Amino acid sequence: MLKKICPVFIFSICYILTGNGQVVHKPDDLYKISHDSKLEYTVSKLNTPVPDNDYSNILNESGVYNEDSNGTTTLKKIHISGAAESEWGKGNSSFRNKEYKDARQHYKNVLDIQPDYYPASVQIAKSFEGEEDYDKAVTAYKQAISKNYIDYTSHWYLADAYFNDRKYDDAVNEITIASILNRNDTAILADMKKIYLEAHLKFDYWIFTPQCKVSKDPKSREVKVQTKNDWEGYAIVKAIWEFEPGYAESQGEKPGIPSLLEEKECLTNLIAGQDKHVDAVFEKPIAILKKAQEYKLIDGFAYYEELLPAHPSLAYQLPTNVIKTIKNYVVLGHGGEAPKKK
């Protein structure tokens, strides 16, 4: 089956990260907005559960990097220069023949010519792995990551090196980051399961599928909200964000652009609606959502469970500190390990 490479340049980062002055509205505020609206919000029972989406064919592209210029970040494809290309080819030929020392020298020559060509650092690391010299492999992978943090393959290979060296906690960190940077890659998830279990973590993989449908007939003022009782707060928020005139703008966002604030508002109101009765079918993700809120990792939940599956290329635009926060959530939510106190 052909895989769909997720397009880039979809998001403006200032509309993803919540800014100063933005407020996550509570249920009473949102119901007042819907009741005072010129639109007519009608709520009815959702009779058929919303099925899980399959995002496994939406993958991020490798070999890309961020270039910053005049305050603007642009995602670009890495290219090797003509001067370095000959050495690159010689290195690959030696590598295929398992002549690792010779291959390394050619890759080092590539870096002498083109220092930013991080794939050469990756290949140097692989050559050390071929010789089972994991300490040197780890050092080389880290050099590749320092040149391009968003290269998910470098984190993936580094996790493998740590795993082979029985450094399972370090392997967990790196495979989790690889999963964030290419959210829907099933091969990464398979390695993630292997590494988590070896590190004595659980591996509970599940999909978060909100149980609501919102729609509006363009010829009328009616906004239809179909939902299960436990999800009504979530559904009303979704409807307001999608259809209420001026609401997204009032929150400092652009209509129609994926927003962390929108997802946090939805999730906060979902939790409020689950206080007295937990939706049994979705008990696990809701319990984990509450844990995420307890550990102040709800942003991580919103990114990993809601934004990244449909828009995996968003990960390429996130600051490293945000990626590390998401990582802490993933280890909590899918591995069952609470963040360690510093």
Distance CA 243, CA 256 (A): 10
Q: Is residue 104 located within the same domain as residue 20?
A: no
Q: Is the pLDDT of residue 15 over 90?
A: no
Task: Give domain status of residue 122, yes or no.
Answer: yes
**Does residue 87 share a domain with residue 34?**
no
Question: Are both 227 and 291 inside the same structural domain?
Answer: yes
> pLDDT (tens digit, 9 = 90+) per residue, 194-230?
999 999 999 999 899 999 999 999 999 999 999 988 8
Q: What percent of the chain has pLDDT over 90?
A: 77
Dihedral Cα 221, 262, 273, 31, nearest 10 deg? -40
Helix, strand, coil content of the chain in percent (nearest 5)? 55, 10, 35
221 and 327 fall within a common domain: yes
Residue where a domain terminates, one of 147, 162, 197: 147
Joined tokens for residue 312:
């995996």
Beta strands in 33-190 (DSSP E): 40-45, 58-59, 64-69, 72-77
The whole domain housing 16 covers: 4-58+206-335
- CA distances to 1, 21, 163, 260, 323 from 253, in Å: 37, 12, 42, 10, 22
pLDDT at 275 (0 to 100): 60
Same domain, residue pair 108 and 228: no
- Which of 98, 129, 147 is the last residue in one of the domains? 147
Strands (E), the chain: 4-5, 40-45, 58-59, 64-69, 72-77, 212-216, 222-227
Please report whether residue 100 resides in a domain: yes
Task: Copy the structure tokens of residue 128.
Answer: 């050390």
Q: Is residue 85 part of a domain?
A: yes
> Quick check: 205 and 196 in contact, CB under 8 A?
no
pLDDT digits (tens, 9 = 90+) for 150-194: 999 999 999 999 999 999 999 999 999 999 999 999 999 999 999
Angle between helices 27-36 and 232-243 (to 10 degrees): 50
Task: Identify whether the C-beta of residue 58 lies closer than 8 Å to the C-beta of residue 2.
Answer: no
Strand order in the sheet with 212-216: 40-45, 222-227, 212-216
Position 18 pLDDT exceeds 60: no
Q: What's the whole-number average pLDDT of the chain?
A: 90
Contact indicator for 90, 120 with CB cutoff of 8 Å: no
Same-domain check for residues 239 and 298:
yes
Instruction: Assess whether 270 and 324 both reside in one domain.
Output: yes
Number of domains in the chain: 2
Please tell me whether residues 309 and 213 are part of one structural domain: yes
Between 12 and 54, the more confident residue is: 54
Beta carbons within 10 angstroms of residue 224's beta carbon: 17
Task: Indicate the pLDDT class of residue 273, thresholds 50, 70 and 90.
Answer: confident
Closest CA to 291 of 323, 267, 263: 267
